[in-house]
Amino acid sequence: MNLIKSMLAASISLALLSGCESDFVDHPDEPINTAPVISVSDTAVVEKQAISISATVQDEGPVTYLWSQNAGLSVALENTNTGTVSFIAPSVSEDKKISLNLTVTDSEGLTSEKNVVVDIQQQLVKLSLEGIATDSPLIDAAIKAKIGSQEFTTTTNSDGYYSLELALDDDADMSQLVTIEAQGKEQQQAALLQSRLMSFASLKTKAGDDAVLTNDEDFSVNITNLTTAKSALLARENLFVDIKSEQDLKRLSNEISADELVKVATTIKVILDKSTSNELFALPEGVNNVLELALDNEKMTQYIKKVEQTPEFSQAQEEMLADEKVVQSTKSNNIKTFYYNRGNLSINQVIELDNDGTGRYLLQNYDGRFDWIYQNDVYTLNNPEGFYAYQTTADIEIDGETKRVRQEVTTYKAELKLIAATENGFLVKETEYKNVEYPDGELENYQLTNESILKVFTQNEQVDFTFAQTQNPIALPAPHIFVDQVSLGAITLMLNDDGTGAVSELGNTPITWRMIEDNNKQSLHITLSDYDNETILFRQLTSDGDIATFAAFSEFDGIKNASVGTGSIIDESETFNIATIPGIYSYNFDGKSLDEFWFELWPDGKAISMSVYDSNEDGQLSVAESRIYAGNWHLDDDILTITRNLNGRDDCYYVEQDPNCWLWNTRQWKLIEQIEDTIYVNNMHQFTYSQGEEPREKTFDNRKFNRATERPISSPLPDEILQQIGYQPPVSLTGLISPNNYLGKRLYFTDHDYKVEGELGYFQFDDNNSFQYYQDNNLSTGTYQIFSDNQLILRDGSSLMYGANYSLLIGSSNVVIATFEEHIWPHFTSENDAKEYMSIVADNKPVSNVEHLIGRDIYMVDRDRDDQWVVSYLKFDEDKITIYSDESFTTINTELDYSVDDTGMISFPGDQNTMYLSLVTDEFNIIITNDVGNSSKDFNYFLFDQQKAKDFVNNTNALRESAQR
């Protein structure tokens, strides 16, 4: 009993005694102990923050505390034996609740409990986007923003404006890109517009303290026909692989065609504005919206051809370029340098504007001068005598005959109209005025006007040169200077710490290098020590990660040269892998068209360069519109060499195999960078124009190629062309057995001609990439290459087997079916087994009856009348073979009665031909037909796995076609 309780009892006793005249004393009951009373409230805390929860307790004496958790995400409680418990809130991806329990016990053991619910609130990083969805404003359109797997939605108002809040967990990947879409409704249903923005983190920074991103901070919040065209071209340029990084988005934005961008955007506007009133401008059949059309290069190209000459198309383009909600303002009268960016295959010029109203036009070895003025967003360059000139040839018709004549073309005026600002420069509409002269007088001279739309960088985009390092070579553009029979459109530098270095394209000629102050930025300056100390200056124009854009300047022999192109630091650990080289390589495989150039590199070492152009615009490709260049490829010292060879007027594959075959063209690729199926290479090009003469100058440039699995054309090649190059392109085969399983073992084969008795042959492949081939008492040796799909190519230095294909189709226990060129033979790991099999076939001796086949789904692999391998579907029962016309074994094609004698020989009523099983394994059976009428045997295969049967057929047809090429 504590002091308070004792004093209270004494006071009560005294009060009672003072009023009592009796000697009787009444003793009251002792007071009752009550449980502690706990006061504590539910609370909330932001994830990953510290929280302390305090409870107050009412009780007459000392108490003890015990905090525990009874529900929710586990937390680490601290100070659990005090009135205040603490913990760090867990990380959550959505709001969560946890429950804590407090038990309080007094000194007499009475307890009280109280649960406390704690709301764990997700920490969100918020950003609001405010823009407009418009070609004409999209009313009540559904707006959807995507960031990774998360989506956020809202709708536009009656003017097309929207406001959309994005909220990411603070642990989310803030480097993820943001994509926003607008889907129109009712009359605007065809309007599915899209805009690709930078990363959430970058947008948050642009938005500033108010966390609201408006179009004056990032114009891409406006979802328009122009952003939709750009988004589609970016997807096509990246081969429809997801664009995941800001670096890739910037890189690809620099690589798409500005001219195509404006055409596609104009087409979208034509459809949205004109299609409801004019059926000519309706979406193509089967296309649901403008984004779907823009993503399809083939259909979009056809649509543009149909409408681009109409007045509506021109009007739509003018309206689009004048719409400040679609096109970002271009006000800029202080441009001093234009760096052209026409794309991967163009030689990009530099235009310099001086303050005195004069300027220089720098392209290849041309240094032209002009006067210039700026007015109404247009820079006009003018020199009546011309500021750029070149010579070319043209095919013209004279008196009914086509003749090739010389032309001299001089540009005397150019207008550069700024039509849109971009992330790092401008879109420019260039109008060139030219004089075209015939120096030999075949035709009258005339004037020509050309218009094009291109992207330009300006001096404002120049950044510090960041690629100067000494660990790896640097691939850079060069200003197309001509040195020692070498035209330098690209240059590879090796820089040393002491300021020295070398240029690989010039036989590692020595250089010195330094960084210099240039337009308030750092630029790379090199001096070629062995070439009269001529210099080259490199300015960096973008900083988009591994691939960047540069401008290169030189003044060789007193002529100023300049060029713009891409470059990168070369990672020497990233090289071509010979096992994965075969395939199709195209310059612009962003969709199929009828104007394409590509390479087909085959596993057997053959190389085909293909060029097609639908010159008569009939939508088909003729033989005359298709050009084949044959040659070969090989990989040496990480350099991929591709040749074109000639034999008279014809093409040929191997110079070393044919004395009349000579090397006409060589190109060599040094890998600079590989991103998914896109490769950037240093490309060397060299021609030999006549047999027996020395090769001409080497030309170097940096190029981009896309690797594809199909030919980049929208119409089939003519059959005459396909017969030469193959109906199937060089794609990876599936289901081949790895030759590594048989290294060091002899594989004894028996070919399928048993009319003449002969000895067995064998192949042996060793782990040092050598092989032996023995047949008819002849032993051949050579080397082999295994490719990534398990194709194996032989190289023996002779025309007989050089480039021959050997592939293992299907195997079981000690036998494998292999294809050698056009031949399909069983190969045995045991010589005795091979001899026994040969004897079985020669003697027409079945090895089994058909009991194991009864009721099974059988996929029979056979050749049809066109010598193509096909799959047939059949089942055996006791006396009938049912042949089905479908792989589901449901539709009966025909039924055949049959019988089997005691030896296992199969016969058919009224047919003198017989069949028998010559080999039975778990994976396949070989079935032989004795064709009495033709005195021959037909060898076919029973397989029991559908996919293996399909692979067997596809692989044998592809390999057979390759062997016949």
pLDDT digits (tens, 9 = 90+) for 273-287: 999 889 999 999 999
Q: Which of 448-462, 722-736, 835-849 has the lowest mean pLDDT?
A: 722-736
DSSP string covering 666-711, please? EEEEEEEEEETTEEEEEEEEEE--STTSPP--EEEEEEEEEEESS-
Half-sphere exposure of residue 882: CA atoms within 13 angstroms, side-chain side:
15
Q: How many C-beta atoms lie closer than 10 Å to residue 808's C-beta?
A: 22
The yes-or-no verdict on residue 493 having pLDDT over 60 is yes
Would you say how long the chain is, in residues? Answer: 965
Give 171's contacts (C-beta < 8 A, 6+ positions apart): 91, 93
pLDDT in tens, 506-554: 999 999 999 999 999 999 999 999 998 999 999 999 987 789 999 999 9
pLDDT (mean) for 696-702:
94
Q: Which of 461-475, 600-614, 663-677, 784-798 has the lowest mean pLDDT?
A: 784-798
Q: How many C-beta atoms lie closer than 10 Å to residue 447's C-beta?
A: 9
Query: Residue 758 — pLDDT band, cuts 50, 70, 90?
Result: low
Query: Residue 318 — pLDDT band, cuts 50, 70, 90?
Result: very high
Query: Residue 6 — pLDDT band, cuts 50, 70, 90?
Result: very low
Query: Residue 18 — pLDDT band, cuts 50, 70, 90?
Result: very low
Single-letter amino acid, residue 452: S
The yes-or-no verdict on residue 252 having pLDDT over 70 is yes
Query: Residue 592 — pLDDT band, cuts 50, 70, 90?
Result: confident
Give 357's contacts (C-beta < 8 A, 6+ positions apart): 371, 372, 373
Rounded CA separation 64/56 (Å) = 12
Tell me which of 904 and 559 has the higher pLDDT. 904
- 678, 707 in Cβ contact below 8 A? yes
Query: Residue 343 — pLDDT band, cuts 50, 70, 90?
Result: confident
How far, in whole angstroms, is CA 359 from its chain's centroid?
Answer: 41
Q: Which of 87, 103, 191 is nearest to 142 (CA)?
A: 191
How much of the chain exceeds pLDDT 90, in percent?
72
In the three-class reduction of DSSP (H, G, I as helix; E, B as strand; rest coil), residue 933 is classed as: coil
Single-letter amino acid, residue 64: T
- 941, 583 in Cβ contact below 8 A? no
Tell me which of 273 and 726 has the higher pLDDT. 273
In the three-class reduction of DSSP (H, G, I as helix; E, B as strand; rest coil), residue 397 is classed as: strand
Would you give the end-to-end CA distance of the chain in angstroms? 109
Which pLDDT does position 1 carry in this prediction? 37
pLDDT in tens, 38-88: 999 999 999 999 999 999 999 888 999 999 999 999 999 999 999 999 999
The yes-or-no verdict on residue 802 having pLDDT over 80 is no
Please identify which residue in the block is written with the tokens 């394209």: 505
Please identify which residue in the block is written with the tokens 């019988």: 899
Rounded CA separation 827/761 (Å) = 10
Strands 486-495 and 474-483: antiparallel
For residue 115, the cross-strand partners are 101
The yes-or-no verdict on residue 294 having pLDDT over 50 is yes
Give 289's contacts (C-beta < 8 A, 6+ positions apart): 189, 190, 191, 192, 283
- 291, 193 in Cβ contact below 8 A? yes
Rounded CA separation 769/323 (Å) = 65
pTM over 0.85: no
Alpha helices in 221-345 (DSSP H): 225-237, 246-255, 258-274, 290-295, 297-307, 311-322
Which token pair is 903? 């030896």
Please give the angle made by the CA atoms of 684, 687 and 692, to the nearest 5 degrees.
Answer: 135
Which pLDDT does position 2 carry in this prediction? 41
pLDDT (mean) for 137-143:
95
Which pLDDT does position 10 carry in this prediction? 34
- 915, 900 in Cβ contact below 8 A? no
- 379, 353 in Cβ contact below 8 A? yes
pLDDT (mean) for 740-750:
92
- 905, 928 in Cβ contact below 8 A? no
Print burial letters for 537-567: b (CB count within 10 Å at least 16), e (below 16).
Answer: bbbbbbbbebbbbbbbbbbbeeebbbbbbbb
pLDDT in tens, 610-638: 999 998 888 899 999 999 999 999 999 99
Rounded CA separation 214/780 (Å) = 74
Give 838's contacts (C-beta < 8 A, 6+ positions apart): 750, 754, 760
